[in-house]
Amino acid sequence: MAFRKSLFPARHAVSRRSFVTAAASFLLAGPTTSPGGQREQEASKPPAGERPLLVVATDLYRPHDDPDDHWDLATAYALAQQNLVELLAVLIDYPRPDSLKDPDIEAVAQLNYLTGLLVPVLVGSGRPFKEWRENPSDSRALWGVQALLELMRNAPRPVVISVAGTCRNIAMAAHLDGETFRKKCAGVYVNAGTSRPLTENAPLEWNVTLDLEAYQAMFALPCPVYWMPCFEDVRRFEVSEYATYYRFRQGEVLPELSAGLRNFFAHVFRRELSGQHASLGWLQALLAPEDPELVARMNTMDRNMWCTAGFLHAAGISVDGEGQLQPLQETAHPVFKFEKIRVIDRQSGHIRWVTDEAAADRYIFRVLNKERYGYAMTQALKRLLRTIS
């Protein structure tokens, strides 16, 4: 696939100078809601030639929970900068009660600056899905959820949502207005769970534990669901047939990225690797001379990854065994695909399922070449991120 070094059309692109004055912009409208609907049919897909509309829902914090979230965000921005998707918003999870972290709006500001895009930030709800459903008070807890619904209602075509973190905000939005999800959601990529736990009492995957009831609700959404289990069993950090996990050494990728994007990642790691706290603001950190010692330490770190394939698939891209990015229908030997499944039981943190070609709207991620998957995904990620200057 030949990438284009281009930005969005004029109404989406902004200059770096104008972005500095608008970096704190938030899309936090408070629309009215309507009752939830039942799943009826698959949402219509965008006509050929139109970019998928993408919302990234993520547990992106500063200090970070896991730096893979920042690699994922950069992936979404690279796709948007290449006009392969239109990035509508970044929906960041509300921090956990025991956390001293904040939604990382600095990371969004930095990537907006590097790419020339102006992508708004939403902040999700801090209330557990079950608790809120039983006592739906506190309108402030729904501001980000309502803003997501308003964005979907006003979108010119159905929206794709990638979820990595809690499923809470998507579950709440669908509960408030299932009809909007039925008509205006092209698909939800659920990066959570385990596909084939070794025992019934196996530990739950992290994203599932963040809000179990919300995770279960994903499999009742009135729109297509692309399930991306993080592991087959959470105790096995290894490439598996029905799991998205792969790993790379950051030194395999960082040296080939632009200085600006390396500084973006350096700002993620500066506190833990150099002991420096908020000595630099987000723009100063992005434009400062590189710290060779910090970069060298970053290069030695391994990075666990899960979400890359979902972003590529949503953009209509697949990956072959050499890590070449190709149109989805033109990849002769892809390293992954999605298979139709029927969900048998969603009443626990371990979803029971079977493959079923007659099933509608439910898909599971499958690795087709376990020997090449990790290498191929790393090469694909590198090729994509090199496009951010």
pLDDT of residue 275: 60
Please enumerate in sequence order all residues whose Cβ is within 8 A of that of 13, keeping only pairs 6 or more positions apart, or say none: 7, 116, 117, 118
- How many other C-beta atoms can be found within 10 angstroms of the C-beta atom of residue 50? 11
Q: How far apart are CA 101 and CA 96, in angstroms?
A: 8
E-strand stretches of the chain:
53-58, 61-62, 86-92, 102-103, 121-123, 159-164, 185-191, 225-227, 246-249, 302-305, 317-319, 325-327, 336-345, 352-355, 362-367
Query: Following DSSP, what letter does each residue of 168-221 receive, concatenated?
Result: HHHHHHHHH-HHHHHHHEEEEEEE--BSS-SSTTPPPPHHHHH-HHHHHHGGG-
Secondary structure class of 256 (helix, strand, coil): helix
Percentage above 90 pLDDT, the chain: 78
pLDDT of residue 348: 87
pLDDT of residue 277: 55
Output the six-digit token pair for 325.
């990015």
CB 254 within 8 A of CB 299: yes
Secondary structure class of 21 (helix, strand, coil): coil
* Cβ-based burial of 12 (10 A; exposed 0-12, middle 13-18, buried ≥19): middle
Please enumerate in sequence order all residues whose Cβ is within 8 A of that of 239, keeping only pairs 6 or more positions apart, or say none: 245, 246, 367, 370, 373, 374
Amino acid identity of 307?
C
**The CATH number of the domain covering residues in 16-243+305-367:** 3.90.245.10
Secondary structure class of 52 (helix, strand, coil): coil
> For residue 354, what are the β-bridge partners?
342
pLDDT of residue 279: 64
Half-sphere exposure of 323 (CA within 13 A, CB side): 13
CB 114 within 8 A of CB 84: no
Q: Which residues of the chain have pLDDT under 70?
A: 1-49, 273-279
pTM exceeding 0.75: yes
Q: How far apart are CA 60 and CA 312, in angstroms?
A: 20
Q: How far apart are CA 214 and CA 33, in angstroms?
A: 19
CB 229 within 8 A of CB 197: no
Output the six-digit token pair for 114.
């590097």
pLDDT of residue 179: 98
The residue ranges of every structural domain in the chain are: 16-243+305-367
CB 250 within 8 A of CB 303: yes
Secondary structure class of 366 (helix, strand, coil): strand
